[in-house]
Structure 1
Amino acid sequence: MLSNKSLVAACAIAFCCNVALMVLFVKYNSGERCYITIDEHQAVTNVIPDDFLSVGIDTSEIEHYRKIDFSKPRLRQLAAALAPARLRLGGTMSERLIFSENEIVASCDHCPKEPHAKSVCPAVEKLCKHNLPFFIMTGNEWTKINEFCRATKVKLLFTFNVLLRVNHTWNEQNAKDLLEYSKNKHFDVDWQLGNEPNSFQHVFNISLTPEMLAHDFQKLRKVLNHSGYKHSLLVGPDTTRPQPKRPYCLEYMREFLGNGSKHVNAISWHQYYLNSRTATLEDFWNPDTFDLLKEQIETMRNHTKKYRHTPMWLTETSSSYGGGAPGLSNSFAGSPLWLDKLGLCAKYNITTVVRQSLIGGNYSLIDNKLEPLPDWWLSVLYKKLVGNKVLHVDCKCSRLQRMYAHCANRKYTNDTSAITIYAVNLEMTKARFLLNGTALHGDNLIIDEYILSAPSNNRRTKTLLLNGWPLYYESSLPDLEPVHLKYGNHISMPPYSMAFWVIKNTSIKACK
Structure 2
Amino acid sequence: MKWMRDLTLPLLLLYCCDLPTPGGPSSWISGIQADDSPNEVTYNVKVDLSASVHEIGGRFLSMSFPAKYIPVQWYVQYCWTEKLQNLASALSPADIRVLGKFQHFCPDQNVEPSKIQGRSPNAGAPQDPCKNKEVGSDFVLRGNQWQIFNANVAKVGWSLLLGFENTKRKADGSWDSSLAELLLNYSSSKDIPIGYFHLGNEPNLYPVHIRLTITPKTLVEDYKTLRRLVAKYSLYAASKLYGPDVTTLDKHSTARNYLTHYYCKNNASMEEFLNLSSLESLRSSIEIGKTLVQVTTNPLPLILSETSSCAGGGAPNLSGRYLAGFLWLDKLGLSAVYGVKQVFRQSFFSGAAYSLVLISDTTPQPDYYLSVLYKRLVEGPVFRVNLNPSNQKLRVYANCAKQGKYTPGDLVIYYLNLEEIPAILSLDQFQDADLDLYMLTPGDSEGIKSREVKLRGNPRVAAQSFFFPLFFPGFF
Provide TM-score, normalisation by structure 1: 0.77
Q: Is the 8 A contact 2:70 2:146 kept in 1?
A: no
Q: Is the 8 A contact 1:100 1:137 kept in 2?
A: yes
Which deviations, in whole Å up to 9, do the C-alpha atoms of 1:487-510 show, x marking residues without a partner? xxxxxxxxxxxxxxxxxxxxxxxx
Q: Aligned pair 1:468/2:457, yes or no?
A: yes
Q: Is the 8 A contact 2:249 2:285 kept in 1?
A: yes
Shift in Å at residue 479 of structure 1? 2.2
Using the alignment, how far apart are the partners of 2:163 and 2:80 within structure 1?
Answer: 22
- Match of 2:6? none
Q: Aligned pair 1:111/2:127, yes or no?
A: yes
Matched letter for residue 98 of structure 1: H
- Match of 2:293? 304
Q: Aligned pair 1:88/2:97, yes or no?
A: yes
Q: Is the 8 A contact 2:293 2:300 kept in 1?
A: no
- Match of 2:54? 46
Q: For 1:408-419, what aligned pairs fall within 5 Å after superposition?
A: 408-414=401-407, 416-419=408-411
Q: Name structure 2 gaps, 5 residues minimum.
A: 1-21, 27-33
Matched letter for residue 435 of structure 2: I
Q: For 1:220-369, what aligned pairs fall within 5 Å after superposition?
A: 220-228=226-234, 229-243=236-250, 247=252, 250-251=253-254, 253=255, 267-277=257-267, 279-307=268-296, 309-360=299-350, 361-368=352-359, 369=361
- Match of 1:481? 472
Using the alignment, how far apart are the partners of 1:135 and 1:113 within structure 2?
Answer: 9
Using the alignment, how far apart are the partners of 1:148 and 1:236 within structure 2?
Answer: 26
Q: Is the 8 A contact 2:322 2:449 kept in 1?
A: yes
- Match of 1:151? 155
Matched letter for residue 237 of structure 1: P
Distance 1:197 1:65, change over 3 A: farther
Distance 1:60 1:243, change over 3 A: farther
Using the alignment, how far apart are the partners of 1:113 and 1:484 within structure 2?
Answer: 60
Distance 1:184 1:403, change over 3 A: same
Instruction: From the CA coordinates, give the structure whose radius of gyration is larger.
Output: 1
Shift in Å at residue 291 of structure 1? 0.5
Q: For 1:99-248, what aligned pairs fall within 5 Å after superposition?
A: 99-102=105-108, 103=111, 109-112=125-128, 135-166=139-170, 167-189=172-194, 190-228=196-234, 229-243=236-250, 247=252
Moved more, 185-194 or 456-465: 456-465
SS at match of 2:438: strand
SS at match of 1:362: coil
Distance 1:384 1:29, change over 3 A: farther
SS at match of 2:341: strand
Matched letter for residue 365 of structure 1: L
Which deviations, in whole Å up to 9, do the C-alpha atoms of 1:391-428 show, x marking residues without a partner? 121123422210100111111212x2211000001233
Number of residue pairs the alignment of both structures matches: 424
Q: Is the 8 A contact 1:448 1:482 kept in 2?
A: yes
Using the alignment, how far apart are the partners of 2:369 and 2:204 within structure 1?
Answer: 34
Using the alignment, how far apart are the partners of 2:154 and 2:211 within structure 1?
Answer: 38
Corresponding residue to 1:79 among 64, 78, 88: 88
Shift in Å at residue 481 of structure 1? 1.1
Corresponding residue to 2:414 among 399, 418, 422: 422
SS at match of 1:273: strand
Which deviations, in whole Å up to 9, do the C-alpha atoms of 1:268-321 show, x marking residues without a partner? 1210010012x1111101111111100110011112212473122111000000
SS at match of 2:300: coil
Matched letter for residue 284 of structure 2: E
Using the alignment, how far apart are the partners of 2:93 and 2:405 within structure 1?
Answer: 15
SS at match of 1:141: helix
Q: Aligned pair 1:403/2:396, yes or no?
A: yes
SS at match of 1:382: helix
SS at match of 1:227: coil
SS at match of 1:319: strand
Shift in Å at residue 186 of structure 1? 1.2
Using the alignment, how far apart are the partners of 1:395 and 1:358 within structure 2?
Answer: 34
Q: Is the 8 A contact 1:95 1:194 kept in 2?
A: no
SS at match of 2:470: coil
SS at match of 1:191: strand
Q: Is the 8 A contact 1:97 1:161 kept in 2?
A: no
Moved more, 143-152 or 64-73: 64-73
Moved more, 54-63 or 458-467: 54-63
Shift in Å at residue 26 of structure 1? 6.6
Moved more, 339-348 or 171-180: 171-180
- Match of 1:384? 376
Q: Is the 8 A contact 2:60 2:341 kept in 1?
A: yes
Shift in Å at residue 95 of structure 1? 4.4
Matched letter for residue 55 of structure 1: M
Q: Is the 8 A contact 2:68 2:102 kept in 1?
A: no
Using the alignment, how far apart are the partners of 1:76 and 1:97 within structure 2?
Answer: 28
SS at match of 2:363: coil
Matched letter for residue 155 of structure 1: S
Moved more, 105-114 or 448-457: 105-114
Shift in Å at residue 67 of structure 1? 4.6
Q: Is the 8 A contact 2:86 2:466 kept in 1?
A: no
Q: Is the 8 A contact 1:33 1:434 kept in 2?
A: yes
Using the alignment, how far apart are the partners of 1:243 and 1:47 within structure 2?
Answer: 26
User: How many percent identity over aligned positions?
Assistant: 30
SS at match of 2:155: helix
Q: Name structure 1 gaps, 5 residues minimum.
A: 1-19, 125-132, 255-266, 486-512
Q: Is the 8 A contact 1:453 1:464 kept in 2?
A: yes
Matched letter for residue 62 of structure 2: S
- Match of 1:488? none
- Match of 2:12? none
Q: Is the 8 A contact 1:70 1:76 kept in 2?
A: no
Using the alignment, how far apart are the partners of 2:75 and 2:138 within structure 1?
Answer: 17
Using the alignment, how far apart are the partners of 2:249 and 2:314 within structure 1?
Answer: 19
SS at match of 1:323: coil
SS at match of 2:206: helix
Matched letter for residue 151 of structure 1: K
Matched letter for residue 302 of structure 1: T
Shift in Å at residue 332 of structure 1? 0.5
Using the alignment, how far apart are the partners of 1:426 and 1:67 within structure 2?
Answer: 39
